[in-house]
Amino acid sequence: MNGMKIKGIKLIIFDLDGTLVDAYGAIIKSFNYTMRKLGYPPQDSPVIRRAVGWGDENLLRPFINSGDLKKALSLYRSHHKKSLLKYSRLFPKVKMVLRRLKTKGYKLAIASNRPTRFSRIVICHLGLDKYFGFILCKDAVRQGKPHPQILNKIMQRFSLKPKQTLYVGDMHIDAQAGRRAGILTVIVIGGSSTRQEIGREKPYRIIKNIPEVLKLL
């Protein structure tokens, strides 16, 4: 099966952070700015990276007292608006891949646990907006990933079925969400999850970089 091309796909849904965009530098800067402002100890980069992927509230919550969460979110988000513009970047050849997929007639969408406001900041800043027909984020649905709701709503938007859809993410929660939605799911290594965590979720394929998506179709 691994050598076969995937047939019948019309919609490709991408996760954003860790899949198309490397925003870890921006997240780490904003995270430790928030910690310092509230008098908490800063954290090392690997610790912060491991906490990414569940949305900004869940990123901050384990490191602070619950009573400080509202203030922490305000500080983090205010800083992050600028940090994203300065420190986020695309992974290699992302635009080439998206351009080829769009030229071939695939419908493209984003499914992110990052809030809509910040997803749009980074998408527009890095020139990705022209490739995507729909962007749906955790704050616009009742439940974020690993719940499949965000993926189901995107398929509904395009009136397409799971068998016509491919999902590309970078975390074990992406693999979980894709499986629960009944979608073939491909995971790019190098994000917040280890290869072992991803492997336990048994995605259709684990790949090393985004250009490998082109070889699957």
pLDDT tens-digit profile, the chain (217 residues): 456 789 999 999 999 999 999 999 999 999 999 999 999 999 999 999 888 878 889 999 999 999 999 999 999 999 999 999 999 999 999 999 999 999 999 999 999 998 999 999 999 999 999 999 999 999 999 999 999 999 999 999 999 999 999 999 999 999 999 999 999 999 999 878 889 999 999 999 999 999 999 999 9
Is the domain of 181 the same as that of 212?
Answer: yes
Is the domain of 56 the same as that of 106?
Answer: no
Q: Of 84, 72, 70, 81, give the one whose Cα is nearest residue 40.
A: 72
Number of domains composing the chain:
2
Question: Residue 41 is part of which domain span?
Answer: 24-87
187: DSSP letter: E
Q: Of 123, 152, 147, give the one whose Cα is nearest residue 135.
A: 123
In a domain, 159, yes or no: yes
Q: Of 150, 135, 205, give the one whose Cα is nearest residue 180.
A: 150
Per-residue pLDDT at 190: 80
Q: Helix 116-125 and helix 69-87: axis angle, to 10°?
A: 10
Is the domain of 184 the same as that of 113?
Answer: yes
Residue that is written with structure tokens 């691994």 in the block = 2
Helix or strand or coil: residue 176?
helix
Is the domain of 68 the same as that of 131?
Answer: no
Distance of CA 89 to the CA centre of its chain: 14
How would you classify residue 201: left for phi > 0, otherwise alpha for psi between -120 and 50, otherwise beta?
alpha
In a domain, 2, yes or no: no
In a domain, 5, yes or no: no
Is the domain of 147 the same as that of 205?
Answer: yes
Per-residue pLDDT at 1: 43
**End-to-end CA, the chain:** 13
Per the DSSP assignment, residues forming a β-bridge with 13 are: 109, 167
Is the domain of 80 the same as that of 106?
Answer: no
